[in-house]
């Protein structure tokens, strides 16, 4: 019987770079194109073929370079010419079926092409050849075409690529980029190595091509690897495949090819990001390439099997979602159902309520109010908590959504809650409670803590909390970190309106990389008479004793905030905005968190927040990233504003909430 891992792991997709073949059909059959288990023991599922051929060039360009051609306009190959070619005839695309060209062949541009050559004749010939080769690749519907790594001066290269891909968006280019520069001598410096990093060449080309979606990356692996920070930044980039030369393998005690531990770790991680493997070079083993594939397949199997959380989140990877506005809109049944599947969140809430009830006298009947009760998961968790610590409670379940109230009333009958639970259909902020509560339980947190207006809701609801009453949660803090995420930024830009670059999004970030660790931003504490504020930082926190909070505005609780944060970039990269998390203290040491440093393992109710900036900025390793964040509010809405101060100032985003307000009332 197959293990769970065999059912759930992604199959290894492995390609083979062909340097020479007289018969592409035979070559494809040899490396086994069948999906799933390899039929010939190799398991290769596509080939990378070099298009250094007459089929992709005109007579005129070849004549200019004085290369030999036969009468059928095909290059005369010699025994030392190591590249696959196809005849320049009308029927050459009939060698393979269209589906095979599309699914199993990746082309490669001719090595001689130099679009930034100093020689005008060579440059002109290169432009013509590039156009013809890409036209031929488009005609064949190749999955992708590999293009060479750009040089420091790649202006004409970028211009030519952008002109051709803009006219034919079906062309997908994989830019070949070495993962690291060759090892330097003892006199080399980190700064020199950083300046020479191939990532900068890729980034320059990407920026010159206006961050087109037509370009991806083919990473070339070598025996030496860059630092961990430099490896990490590639996981934010559109890496499509990794080229693995057979020369970097070593033989184990039995003579089979293996990789060093650092290379193993990198490849396992790349596989988890759906990066395809491509073998390159001559095999050193007597059984040919089969042992190499089997070893790579073994590495792929070492990736941990997806958890239930992974299965739930994977469809949402890097998918922009507008944050919920529960005060303006009623949640739908499907949304409630999704949230209710989270086991960790409700376990923690149940534990917090149980701890709070355990701190009360045994004979006391505590009044528990669940505000924003939804379809009742917190009601059920609170009832279980009371039973676990043998405390008697009387509960009010307050909910404004009329559809959810129907579910609550039916649940009350089905589960025989009787007089223990009273269902109240109203907005918690305006309810006149018949008595005061000992414990106020709420589930109003957003992906950035306060962004679904938990402070405004609880400030309105605390009027029916006893002076010594307990709020669960009692404190929550938003966190923020600068990130590189080309895909999300490009997706925001694709909407074609400035307001989408000034909107926060709920995203399960997948291909991104943090420049520095997250830092706390805004903190809110409840109830208001238990709030205190750090004089130095202005940060609010929950005080164990009743306090007087001086920061009131006209006698009202002030939920506006302003914070400036500084980060130090641990690697160079493009800054595309910020990622937001939160931590929440439910009761005493019981908490929930989506901050990676304190993450509640297994919890999936909240994805992080993506906070874009209008124009990406190049950040050098060691540079300071300074940003300001504001939380503003008035009688009708709450909104966030943000701006960069360093490395380069930006305009303040979302001024007056013009692009992305969070409404305090329904528009019905």
Q: Is the peptide bond before 527 cis (omega within 30 degrees of 0)?
A: yes
516 known ligand binder:
no
Neighbours of 246 (CB within 10 A): 15
Q: Is the peptide bond before 647 cis (omega within 30 degrees of 0)?
A: yes
What DSSP state is assigned to residue 624? E
427 known ligand binder:
yes
Neighbours of 621 (CB within 10 A): 19
Cα–Cα distance for residue pair 364/144, rounded to 1 Å? 71
Place of tokens 């690697």: 571
92 burial type by CB count under 10 A (0-12 exposed, 13-18 middle, 19+ buried): middle
Neighbours of 467 (CB within 10 A): 8
* Angle at 46 (CA atoms; ends 41, 49), nearest 5 degrees: 120
Contacts of 20 (CB under 8 A, 6+ apart): 81, 82, 83, 84
**DSSP string covering 465-532:** EEEEEEEES-EEEEEEEEEE-HHHHHHHHHT-SGGGGG--EE-B--S-EESS--EEEEEEESSGGGEE
Contacts of 645 (CB under 8 A, 6+ apart): 564, 626, 627, 628
Taking CA atoms, 65 is separated from 73, 136, 154, in Å, by 14, 21, 22
Contact between 200 and 180 (Cβ < 8 Å): no
432 is catalytic: no
Taking CA atoms, 297 is separated from 148, 277, 303, in Å, by 28, 10, 10
Rg over CA atoms, the chain: 30
Cα–Cα distance for residue pair 33/481, rounded to 1 Å? 44
Q: Choose the catalytic residue: 350, 443, 514, 540.
A: 443
Cα–Cα distance for residue pair 154/11, rounded to 1 Å? 37
Contact between 132 and 57 (Cβ < 8 Å): yes
Q: At what angle are helices 120-140 and 155-167 packed, to 10 degrees?
A: 30
What DSSP state is assigned to residue 602? T
428 known ligand binder:
yes
Could you list the beta-strand ranges (E) of 99-220. Answer: 105-108, 145-147, 173-178, 215-220
623 is catalytic: no
Q: At what angle are helices 343-358 and 377-388 packed, to 10 degrees?
A: 40
**Which secondary-structure segment (H or E) carries 629?**
strand 624-633
What DSSP state is assigned to residue 8? H
Could you list the beta-strand ranges (E) of 569-608. Answer: 573-587, 590-593
Q: Choose the catalytic residue: 452, 475, 502, 641.
A: 452
Contact between 35 and 323 (Cβ < 8 Å): no
Phi, psi of 157 (to 5 degrees): -55, -50
345 known ligand binder:
yes
Cα–Cα distance for residue pair 481/471, rounded to 1 Å? 29
Contact between 619 and 613 (Cβ < 8 Å): no
Token pair of 452 as six digits: 């679904």
Neighbours of 546 (CB within 10 A): 11
Cα–Cα distance for residue pair 333/407, rounded to 1 Å? 10
Query: Which active-site residues does the annotation give?
Result: 443, 452
Annotated binding residues for S-adenosyl-L-methionine, as ranges? Answer: 336, 345-346, 399, 427-428
């Amino acid at each position: 019987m197959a293990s769970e891992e065999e059912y759930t792991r992604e199959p290894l997709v492995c390609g083979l770079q062909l340097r020479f073949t007289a018969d592409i059909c035979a070559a494809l059959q040899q490396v086994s194109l069948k999906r799933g288990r390899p039929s010939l023991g190799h398991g290769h599922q596509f080939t990378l073929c070099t298009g250094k051929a007459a089929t992709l060039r005109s007579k005129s360009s070849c004549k200019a370079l004085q290369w030999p051609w036969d009468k059928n306009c095909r290059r005369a190959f010699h025994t030392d010419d190591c590249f696959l070619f196809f005849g320049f005839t009308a029927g050459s695309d009939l060698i393979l079926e269209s589906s095979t060209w599309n699914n199993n062949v990746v082309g490669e541009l001719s090595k001689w092409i130099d679009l930034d050559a100093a020689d005008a004749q060579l440059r002109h010939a290169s432009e013509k050849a590039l156009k013809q080769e890409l036209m031929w690749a488009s005609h064949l519907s190749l999955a992708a075409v590999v293009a060479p790594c750009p040089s420091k001066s790649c202006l004409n290269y970028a211009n030519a690529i952008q002109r051709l891909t803009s006219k034919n968006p079906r062309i997908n280019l994989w830019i070949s980029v070495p993962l690291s520069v060759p090892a330097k001598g003892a006199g080399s410096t980190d700064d020199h190595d950083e300046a020479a990093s191939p990532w900068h060449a890729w980034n320059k080309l990407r920026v010159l091509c206006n961050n087109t979606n037509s370009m991806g990356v083919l990473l070339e692996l070598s025996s030496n690897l860059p630092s961990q920070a430099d490896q990490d930044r590639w996981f934010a980039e559109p890496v499509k495949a990794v080229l693995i030369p057979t020369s970097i393998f070593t033989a184990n005690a039995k003579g089979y090819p293996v990789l060093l531990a650092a290379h193993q770790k990198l490849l396992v991680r790349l596989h988890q990001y759906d990066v395809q493997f491509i073998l390159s070079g001559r095999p050193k083993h007597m059984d040919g390439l089969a042992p190499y594939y089997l070893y790579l397949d073994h590495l792929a199997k070492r990736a941990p099997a997806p958890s239930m959380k992974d299965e739930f989140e994977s469809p949402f990877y890097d998918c922009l979602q507008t944050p919920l506005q529960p005060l303006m809109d009623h949640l739908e049944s499907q949304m409630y159902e999704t949230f209710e599947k989270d086991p960790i969140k409700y376990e923690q809430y149940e534990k917090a309520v149980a701890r709070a009830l355990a701190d009360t006298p045994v004979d006391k009947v505590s009044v528990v109010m669940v505000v924003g009760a939804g379809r009742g998961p917190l009601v059920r968790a609170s009832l279980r908590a009371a039973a676990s610590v043998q405390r008697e409670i009387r509960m009010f379940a307050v909910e404004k959504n009329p559809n959810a109230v129907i579910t609550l009333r039916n649940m009350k009958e089905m589960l025989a809650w009787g007089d223990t639970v009273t269902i109240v259909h109203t907005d918690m902020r305006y309810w006149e409670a018949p008595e005061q509560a000992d414990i106020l339980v709420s589930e109003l947190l957003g992906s950035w803590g306060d962004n679904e207006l938990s402070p405004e809701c609880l400030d309105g609801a605390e009027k029916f909390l006893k002076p010594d009453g307990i709020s669960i949660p009692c404190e929550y803090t938003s966190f923020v970190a600068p990130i590189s995420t080309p895909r999300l930024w490009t997706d925001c830009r694709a909407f074609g309106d400035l307001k989408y670059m000034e909107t926060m999004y709920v995203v399960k970030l997948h291909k991104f990389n943090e420049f520095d660790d997250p830092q706390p931003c805004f903190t809110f504490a409840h109830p208001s008479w238990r709030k205190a504020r750090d004089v130095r930082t202005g940060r609010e926190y929950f005080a164990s004793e009743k306090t007087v909070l001086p920061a009131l505005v006209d006698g009202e609780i002030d939920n506006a905030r302003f914070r400036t944060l500084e980060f130090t970039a641990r690697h160079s990269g493009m800054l595309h905005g910020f990622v937001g998390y939160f931590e929440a203290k439910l009761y005493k040491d019981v908490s929930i968190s989506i901050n990676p440093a304190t993450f509640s393992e297994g919890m999936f109710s909240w994805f992080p927040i993506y906070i874009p900036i209008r124009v990406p900025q190049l950040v050098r390793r060691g540079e300071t990233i300074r940003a300001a964040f504001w939380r503003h509010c008035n009688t009708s809405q709450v909104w966030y504003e943000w701006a960069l101060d360093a490395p380069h100032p930006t305009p303040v985003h979302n001024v007056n909430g013009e692009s992305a307000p969070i409404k305090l009332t329904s528009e019905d």
